[in-house]
Structure 1
Amino acid sequence: MNPKSVEIEDFLMFSDQLVEKFNAEEDSDGWFLGTNLGVIPDFDALWFGDGLVINLDLKHEKNGEMEEKLRNKFEKQAGVFNLFENLEILQLVYIASKRKLLQYSDLSFTSFSFKTLSEKLRNFAAVDKPKNIIASIEPSDYLVSPISNVEKFLQGGY
Structure 2
Amino acid sequence: MTPPAAIVVMGVSAAGKSSVAAALAERLGVPWADADGLHSADNVAKMAAGQPLGDDDRWPWLDVVGQTLADGAASGGMIVACSALRRTYRDRIRRFAPDAVFVHLSAPEEVLAARAAARTGHFMPATLLASQLAILEPLGPDESGVVVDVTPPVADVAEQAVRALSERS
- TM-score by length of structure 1 reads 0.27
Q: Which structure: greater helix fraction?
A: 2
Higher relative contact order (CA 8 A, sep 6+): 2
- TM-score by length of structure 2 reads 0.26
Over alpha carbons, which structure has the higher Rg? Answer: 1
Q: Which structure: greater strand fraction?
A: 1
